[in-house]
Amino acid sequence: MHATQAVHYLTQYFASPEQAVRGLSYLDDSAELLKIYRRFFPDEFARNTAPIRETKDLVATLEECLRLISERLFEIPYWYFDESAYEEGPLGYIPIDPMFGDWWNMDFEDLRPLWQVLLTLVGDVTPDRSEDEVIKQVLDARQRWWNQRIDHDKVVRLCRRQRGPLRHLHTALNAVYLDTGNPWFDTSYENPIQGIEWSVRNVSYLKKSWLEAQQACDHILGLEKWLYEETANIHRLLDLWSRGLAPQPT
């Protein structure tokens, strides 16, 4: 073989160590995603994997699997698709976006109404005097309890005795402080949950967690709506809160 032809052959068909590692990682991730595809979407798997002959066929199949996961199991953030993380490169870890965002990077006026109430009560934010009647009541209560902290365990017990939306106050409080035990609530943009690899077991776990997170989110939004339905409701919340305060230090 002529030297020029040999160089051309080597350039076309031999990979650098970095390319080889990347290629092997891609194949390994692809194999895991195909297992997920077969486990959760057997009908689609049977239809869409038969014609895989080239890399472009595999890429299209993986993309379809990810789309089905996002539609039927749990939400995959749009940026994961936009960045084409699955195209001929390692898939990386399963992406998890926070359900409510990072409240500490937001102006008070941009916070959810329920977050405004809870963060004012615990003293983590001190808004200016507000025209909102609910926040006025909360500010007055916070001034009365300025030197007292909330007893979280006591609030949990009090909430379990409630009927209706107020029963879920402790769930909202845990969500504010990323302490629910659910990855969809406990991650943040500043400190994302990483290291959950693509596998059948992890997808099953995240599917279950996503359903639980959606249910908890419905409860939180229901509490927020209830709070503003009538004036008496903020008084009910503040009454429960006052009973959940730790004893004053002597």
Residue 150's φ and ψ, nearest 5 degrees, are -85, 140
Burial class (CB in 10 A: 0-12, 13-18, 19+), 85: middle
How far apart CA 204 and CA 217 sit, in angstroms, is 20
Contacts of 61 (CB under 8 A, 6+ apart): 34, 37, 48, 49, 52
Q: Is 61 exposed, middle or buried (0-12, 13-18, 19+ CB in 10 A)?
A: buried
pLDDT average, residue stretch 111-118:
96
How many angstroms separate the CA atoms of 156 and 158, rounded? 5
Confidence label for 21 from pLDDT (cuts 50, 70 and 90):
very low
**What band does 27 get if pLDDT is binned at 50, 70 and 90?**
low
Residue-wise pLDDT for 148-186, tens only, equals: 999 999 999 999 999 999 999 999 999 999 999 999 999
Rounded Cα distance between 99 and 75, Å, is: 10
As given in the structure block, the two tokens for residue 83 are 């960045």
Q: Which residues pair with 245 in a beta bridge?
A: 150
First to last CA, the chain: 93
Q: Residue 13: pLDDT above 50?
A: no
